[in-house]
Structure 1
Amino acid sequence: MKIGIGMPTRDPDTLLTWAERADAGPFSTLGLLDRLVYDNPEPLVALAFLAGSTSRIRVQTEVLLAPLRETALLAKQVATVDRMTGGRLVLGLGVGGREDDHRAANVDQSTRGRRLDGQLAVLRRLWSGEPYGDGAGPIGPAPTRPRGPEVLFGGYAPAALERVARWGDGFLSGTAPSKAGGLFDTVRRFWKEYDRDGEPRFVAQLNVALGPREVIDDARAAMHSYYTFTGIADRIVAGMLSTPREIREAIAGFADLGADEVMLYCHGIDPDQVDRLGEVST
């Protein structure tokens, strides 16, 4: 099973160090979260920059809030990053739950799921080289794969899980192994209902921090700030794993569920966590 690493969002100046260390280590993928009304780097821009400073590691949005973006431009941006990274882009997509993000993007939050479904139809068509329509022709460049990069969907509602089978290549889970099994089974059921070939990819995310007490405390504080809007930030922070044993057991749990990859997501900015986590994951 592959192990990726999610980078902190608070300090863009540190991300190059994180990326270069991860690229030199055992990690398969670099992940970056997305928000609009928050002090974080825009993920497509940041990952494009980091891909230019790495040679093999994949770059993954985790997850990109597609409904906040104009569809034709998003198609072009994604295809550009995919093409210029040699197919190393993995596009994790979701709808987002922050009212202020949608307000700033002038998007009706209540329609975000329907908007995403409509966007996927257009994105797949454009990445296949078809005209945009309404008097507008194709939008390039052509991505590395004929129908665009690998697409994962995050979310927990039935509509989000069905979306994996309708439009995607796999599922991105943000829950503990004890809760993820039912979600995986539901995705597999939808996959069969849509008569999809093969199996969906399953990518799991674990919130982790390794290091001295001040590193762990800093990560917990950053997580709490990021997830305050959910109303359950204390519960989310309590689930952060901070010992090698906890992390190894969670990775093993996801392996038992059939996960293809686990993303170890770090909210603390100390880049030495990359080396510590590399030792745990090998």
Structure 2
Amino acid sequence: MPVGLGLPVDDPAGLLTWARLADDSPFSTLGILDRLVYDNPDPLVALSALAGATSRIRVQTEVLLAPHYNTAILAKQTATLDRMSGGRFTLGVGIGGREDDCRVAGIDIRRRGRRLDEQMEQLRWAWAGRPYAEGVGAVGPLPATPGGPEVLFGGFAPAALERVARWGDGFLGAALPPAYMDRMFRDVETAWEKYGREGRPKLVAQASVALGAPSVVADARANLLRYYEFTGRAAYMAEGLLTTPEAIRAAVAGCAGIGADEVILYCWAADPDQVTRLAEVVFA
């Protein structure tokens, strides 16, 4: 089963080192989160740099908060990244839940789900090379991947799971234990069948990890607490941080056991030596 890495965001310049190390290892994907009112790099700009610094590994938003974006510009940006990376781009997408992000983006937080549904129709239209609207031409370039880059939806609500079947190629699960993620995977498969989709959805799980000296683990916990503070569940998320080889191997095996097609090990501390440590744990 492929295993990817979610990248820490507190040292954007250091991400090139992470990318080159991961590209020389068996890891499958590099993922990066999206927020507006937060000290993180823009995910599409960052992934463009990482795609240029690598030749093999895929790059992925995890997840891009699409309702914050102008749809035509997002169509152009994502198609460009897919084209210039040779089809190595996956668009992980979601609606977000932060009032401050929505306020800065100028959108109504109550309409973000409906806005995403409208955006997906427009994105699929643009990626196919069709005129974007009546009286105007297509928004190019065409992506390298026919029909547009791979799209994975993240989220917890039933509407998010149905979007997988309506618009997507698969589901990107949050950092939940396999027992909880199993139910969500099955709900995604049920929605897929409901909408008459052929084949099966791609199912991607995620686990939060930190592997190294106590300072590395402490940095990861602090970053987790800060990122999830608004949810009221920050302590719970930090408690789920996996910090030993045994726990990380068990999580990967557990995700494989529930039918995951890929696992993303999300790293919350900036130490790039974790790439080598994690590779030794997962691929030995």
Is the shorter-chain TM-score for this pair beyond 0.5, marking a shared fold? Answer: yes
Cα deviation, residue 134, structure 1: 3.1
Query: In the aligned structure 2, how far is the partner of 1:273 from the partner of 1:145?
Result: 31
Cα deviation, residue 70, structure 1: 0.4
Q: Deviations over 1:153-192 (max 9, x none)?
A: 0001000000000000000001210101110111000100
Query: In the aligned structure 2, how far is the partner of 1:194 from the partner of 1:281?
Result: 36
Counterpart residue type for residue 162 of structure 2: E
Q: Deviations over 1:70-101 (max 9, x none)?
A: 00000000000000000000000000011100
Query: In the aligned structure 2, how far is the partner of 1:279 from the partner of 1:26?
Result: 10
Q: What is the correspondence of 1:1-282 to structure 2 with a 5 Å cutoff?
A: 1-174=1-174, 175-282=176-283
Q: Deviations over 1:229-277 (max 9, x none)?
A: 1111000000010001001111111101110000000010101111111
Q: Deviations over 1:205-244 (max 9, x none)?
A: 1000000111101110011111111111000000010001
Q: SS in structure 2 opposite 1:251?
A: helix
Query: In the aligned structure 1, how far is the partner of 2:72 from the partner of 2:180?
Result: 36
Cα deviation, residue 278, structure 1: 0.6
Aligned identity (percent) is 61
Query: In the aligned structure 2, how far is the partner of 1:50 from the partner of 1:187?
Result: 30
Cα deviation, residue 13, structure 1: 1.3
* Structure 2, unpaired ranges of 5+: none
Counterpart residue type for residue 195 of structure 2: Y
Q: Deviations over 1:22-70 (max 9, x none)?
A: 0011100000000001110000000001110101000000000000000
Counterpart residue type for residue 149 of structure 1: P
Counterpart residue type for residue 151 of structure 1: V
Cα deviation, residue 146, structure 1: 2.2
* Structure 1, unpaired ranges of 5+: none
Query: In the aligned structure 1, how far is the partner of 2:136 from the partner of 2:240?
Result: 48
Query: In the aligned structure 1, how far is the partner of 2:182 from the partner of 2:7?
Result: 25
Cα deviation, residue 135, structure 1: 1.8
Counterpart residue type for residue 38 of structure 1: Y
Counterpart residue type for residue 29 of structure 2: T
Counterpart residue type for residue 259 of structure 1: A
**Cα RMSD after superposing both structures:** 0.6
TM-score, length-scaled by structure 1: 0.99
Counterpart residue type for residue 116 of structure 1: L
Q: SS in structure 1 opposite 2:31?
A: strand
Query: In the aligned structure 1, how far is the partner of 2:68 from the partner of 2:133?
Result: 22
Q: SS in structure 2 opposite 1:215?
A: helix
Cα deviation, residue 133, structure 1: 1.1
Q: Structure 1 runs of 4+ off > 4 angstroms?
A: none
